[in-house]
Amino acid sequence: MTATHQQASAMTASGARGRRFAAFPHAAVLLLAPVAVVGAAVMLEGTTAEFREIAPTNVDIRPSVLSGPMLGPADYSAMIKDAERRIALGEERVSRGQGEWLWAETLAAGLLARFDLAADYADLARAQQILADAQALAPRGSGPSLRRASSAMKAHDLALAERQLAVFMGQAVPPSRSDRGEVMAMRGDIAFYRGDQALADQLYRRAGENDPAGDQSWRQAVLALSRAEYDHAIMSFAQMAGPRATPFTRARLALRIGASESARGNWGRALVFYKAADGFFPGYWLTRAHLAEAHALNGDMAGALSLMTEAAELSDAPEAMDALAMMYRSRGERTQSRAWAERAGAIWQQRMQQAPDAAAAHAAEHELVFGSPERAMALARRNLDARPYGEARLLYANTLMAVGEIETARAELAAAERGGWRSAPLYAAMADVEAMAGDAEAAAKAREQALAINPRIFTPEARLAWLGHG
């Protein structure tokens, strides 16, 4: 590795971490070009004059648009208890069912519901095994194939999901119209994570046409996010808060809008929506983690450390621990940073045993910043092999830069852009790699593209955006 590459690699591993891609884990699976008003003061409910934003926006969505009847479990504790009741019921039915696959599916559904909330990979691993066993027990032409496909998507196993969708469509009982629509939409998800955004868009639209009652707005919004079409995505999320939305759904929508704003540098707006999410569905560790990040980005590090510590202790989530380690590192508190990073690393190792493809990207991020660039590269390669879409290519490229593989990194970033992926971290990484390759003109162009999406992408604070990066 040359001296230039060594210097650039050190920058990539330590400084570029906050410029990476957005992820909303577990609950989301899981997306109009912004035009105007740069530098305008955007005042939302609950904001103060200090929250003036600089990223382009044509929408003025307020948290109140997400309000409505609060049907369903009122907070995180109540929803966890509801999932645990479903698990207990499933356990009881399985114990008395003598090999009945329907009861096994009930148990798996409860485990997956808890996984979506608590992100315990043991639940995901157990649910997958239960569903595989149930499928083996089921008579030909039946079985939990659709749920198994959904579980496979959570585990990032696209090939298994695709096979199970084919099994479901070939079952003895013809699928309902809504199920056919969901199968088509899930095939769109598979296309998306294989890097074919055009096919994903086509399948989502066809799913909506075939089953108008099956709303594909969430998937279309996620697709818009992958193209940095933040106004489009935010408007779509805002329109999903109908009268039947649960408190958890309203919180998820607020989190998604907040993360969209954070990804384009509107950190004050992000904080407002994260606070709204906490009000809609109190006690959720992921909301606390996003709140912590937003406090850090807005300059309140004391509040950020308190909230992120709370999120980490409540959930035992290594994502929160890694974010906390980064916060302590930014303050020069190496001992605290190292302690949290080591704790997170041990959990990532465990998760790699439980659900390796699902954990690989997060584990790679951890290794890139707190561990070994070589291990990070191997994990990122595994993640890319499992889901070869733009976000995975960006992560892999960052690890390649960290070990001095500049030309390969350039190729991965170019492939992500060709596939339709757009984000400030993508263009920031392109600026880095072009500078490392000695192409000052290309680096300057990529830098301008990154700043056009997120004017704050190159600020020191941006590295603290562990959860709500773009």
- The CATH number of residue 286's host domain is 1.25.40.10
| Secondary structure of the chain in HEC code, one letter for each residue | CCHHHHHHHHHHHHCHHHHCCCCCCCCCCCCCCCCCCCCCCCCCCCCCCCCCCCCCCCCCCCHHHHCCCCCCCCCHHHHHHHHHHHHHHHHHHHHHHCCCHHHHHHHHHHHHHHHHHHCCHHHHHHHHHHHHHHHHHCCCCCCCHHHHHHHHHHCCCHHHHHHHHHHHHCCCCCCCHHHHHHHHHHHHHHHHHCCCHHHHHHHHHHHHHHCCCCCCHHHHHHHHHHCCCHHHHHHHHHCCCCCCCCHHHHHHHHHHHHHHHHHCCCHHHHHHHHHHHHHHCCCCHHHHHHHHHHHHHCCCHHHHHHHHHHHHHHHCCHHHHHHHHHHHHHCCCHHHHHHHHHHHHHHHHHHHHHCHHHHHHHHHHHHHHHCCHHHHHHHHHHHHHHCCCHHHHHHHHHHHHHCCCHHHHHHHHHHHHHCCCCCHHHHHHHHHHHHHHCCHHHHHHHHHHHHHHCCCCCCHHHHHCCCCCC
Residue 448 CA, distance from chain mean position: 26
> What local confidence, expressed as pLDDT, does residue 233 receive?
97
> What local confidence, expressed as pLDDT, does residue 212 receive?
83
Domain count, the chain: 1
Instruction: From first to last of the 470 residues of the chain, give the pLDDT tens digit.
Output: 433 333 333 334 333 443 433 332 333 323 222 222 222 222 233 333 334 566 667 777 888 889 888 889 999 999 999 999 999 999 999 998 777 899 999 999 999 999 999 999 999 999 999 999 999 999 988 999 999 999 999 999 999 999 999 999 999 899 999 999 999 999 999 999 999 999 999 999 999 998 887 789 999 999 999 999 999 999 999 999 988 899 999 999 999 999 999 999 999 999 999 999 999 999 999 999 999 999 999 999 999 999 999 999 999 999 999 999 999 999 999 999 999 999 999 999 999 999 999 999 999 999 999 999 999 999 999 999 999 999 999 999 999 999 999 999 999 999 999 999 999 999 999 999 999 999 999 999 999 999 999 999 999 999 999 986 55
Residue 97 in any domain: the answer is: no
> What local confidence, expressed as pLDDT, does residue 469 receive?
56
Q: Is-contact 56 38, C-beta < 8 A?
A: yes
Residue 430 in any domain: the answer is: yes
Q: Rounded to a whole number, what is the distance in angstroms from the first to the last CA of the chain?
A: 29
- Structural domain of residue 44, as residue ranges? 3-30+32-68+245-464
Residue 223 in any domain: the answer is: no
Residue 296 in any domain: the answer is: yes
Residue 116 in any domain: the answer is: no
> What local confidence, expressed as pLDDT, does residue 236 receive?
94
Residue 269 in any domain: the answer is: yes
In single-letter form, the type of residue at position 356 comes to P
Record the tokens describing residue 48, joined without a space.
């103060």
Residue 143 in any domain: the answer is: no
Q: What is the pTM of this model?
A: 0.88
Residue 452 in any domain: the answer is: yes
